[in-house]
């Protein structure tokens, strides 16, 4: 049953609506996502930790929750904001409603607010601290105060909070067969908040994947005799992740092939000498055009990041490979003196277009070449 709820921003803006899920109080950075499908993948993406997601698509919850579309085992977002919340799903794969899933995860959604107005407000003023809560748990004045106290994602190392505590192996391929790999190559993936479909695509294209904690040392990884290193997506600011940056520097010196996505792209860039910055409202959606600088081809991509690499800070040994056609921000790099490259967006999609999954084949070629040496 819905309950009276509030969404309060740090600048004093307030929206009232119907709450679904758990009657609780959560804070985070409010962002907007323009994807028209895939809300289950989005809310279970660890990269959304400490964020409150505003869906610009007006109807959320229609297809319920199924057993196959999880990108992790739980909701990582601090809350979700929708125009119309569907509590009675209709889909042949649905195993439970979004409302039941929110309750199970002790999470909260707010519905019935003007999401166009909120999205415009974020675009004009930037992402900001936000409180989403049941009005039974907090007053409007306290909600604004909590939003102001959030402080933003700048300086937050959230990778260490979402990373796996125990190393594990992954051999499962992509939907719908989920075939186990028979490729005899070994990839070590650093989990900064890794999505399941990244693991599936790595397995299908490159081989068996050993997933390790974000703080695993260079020496411990080398004991696994990796043919390649993968740096995953994840939440928060890359700059405080010094443990990861120092390890990446060692892998670069060792000449082992490296592929980074999202946070992994930012960490690789910093390790190679570049700098990052906090974006005004970030890129979150599944309709972002990105251009390959060498070929001129344009790919429609899935994106989810609030930080970016400063293109003007790139040292001479880093080549720009991709640019966003929305704002000309840096989307891809490749090092010229060692086999390492990265992409800011999400080639694994989930949700979103799959055309830039060709980057996994590029990594495969690098790994196969290295394995022969």
Q: What is the pLDDT of residue 124?
A: 98
**Mean pLDDT on 108-117:** 98
With a cut of 90, say whether residue 180 has pLDDT above it.
no
Which one from 99, 262, 265, 322 is the annotated catalytic residue? 262
> For the chain, which residues make up each domain, given as ranges?
3-149, 159-371
Average pLDDT over residues 334-349: 97
Give the fold, CATH level 3, of 159-371.
Rossmann fold (3.40.50)
Q: What is the mean pLDDT of the chain?
A: 97
DSSP assignments along 28-81, one per residue: EEEEEE--SS-HHHHHT-GGGTTEEEEESSSEESTT-B-SS--SSSS--SSEEE
Q: What is the pLDDT of residues 183-218, one digit of tens each?
A: 889 999 999 999 999 999 999 999 899 999 999 999
Residue 177 annotated as catalytic = no
Say what percent of the chain tops pLDDT 90.
95
Query: Is residue 182 predicted with pLDDT exceeding 90?
Result: no
- Please indicate whether residue 348 is annotated as part of the active site: yes
Please report, for residues 161, 196, 267, 364, the alpha-carbon distance to residue 213 in angstroms, rounded to integers and kept in the order given.
10, 15, 15, 23
Architecture label for domain 3-149: 3-Layer(bba) Sandwich (3.50)
Is 262 catalytic? The answer is yes
Integer Cα distance of 194 and 282 in angstroms: 19
- What pTM was estimated for this model as a whole? 0.97
């Amino acid at each position: 049953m819905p309950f009276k709820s509030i969404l309060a921003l740090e600048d004093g803006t307030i929206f009232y609506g119907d709450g679904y899920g758990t009657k609780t109080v959560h804070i985070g950075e409010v962002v907007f996502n323009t994807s028209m499908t895939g809300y289950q993948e989005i809310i279970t993406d660890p990269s959304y930790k400490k964020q409150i997601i505003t869906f610009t698509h007006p109807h959320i919850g229609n297809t319920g929750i199924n057993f196959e579309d999880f990108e992790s085992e739980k909701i990582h977002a601090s809350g979700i904001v929708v125009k119309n919340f569907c509590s009675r799903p209709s889909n042949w794969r649905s195993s439970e409603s979004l409302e039941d899933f929110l309750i199970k995860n002790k999470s909260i959604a707010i519905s019935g607010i003007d999401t166009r107005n909120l999205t415009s407000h974020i675009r004009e003023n930037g992402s900001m601290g936000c409180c989403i809560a049941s009005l039974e748990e907090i007053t409007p004045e306290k909600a604004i105060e909590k939003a102001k106290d959030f402080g933003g994602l700048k300086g937050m190392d959230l990778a260490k909070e979402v990373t796996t505590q125990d190393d594990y192996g992954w051999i499962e391929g992509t939907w719908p067969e989920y075939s186990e790999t028979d490729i005899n190559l070994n990839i070590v993936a650093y989990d900064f908040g890794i999505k399941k479909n990244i693991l599936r695509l790595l397995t299908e294209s490159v081989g068996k994947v050993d997933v390790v904690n974000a703080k695993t040392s260079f020496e411990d990884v080398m004991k696994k005799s990796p043919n390649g290193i993968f740096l995953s997506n994840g939440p928060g600011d890359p700059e405080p992740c010094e443990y990861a940056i120092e390890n990446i520097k060692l892998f670069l010196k060792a000449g082992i092939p490296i592929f980074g996505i999202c946070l992994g792209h930012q960490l690789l860039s910093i390790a190679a000498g570049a700098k990052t910055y906090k974006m005004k409202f970030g890129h979150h959606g599944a309709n972002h055009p990105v251009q390959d600088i060498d070929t001129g081809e344009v790919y429609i991509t899935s994106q989810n990041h609030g930080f970016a690499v400063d293109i003007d800070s790139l040292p001479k040994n880093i080549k720009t490979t991709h640019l966003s056609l929305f704002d000309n921000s840096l989307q891809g790099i490749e090092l010229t003196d060692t086999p390492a490259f990265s992409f800011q967006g999400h080639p694994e999609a989930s949700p979103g277009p799959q055309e830039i999954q060709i980057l996994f084949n590029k990594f495969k070629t690098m790994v196969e070449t290295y394995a022969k040496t």
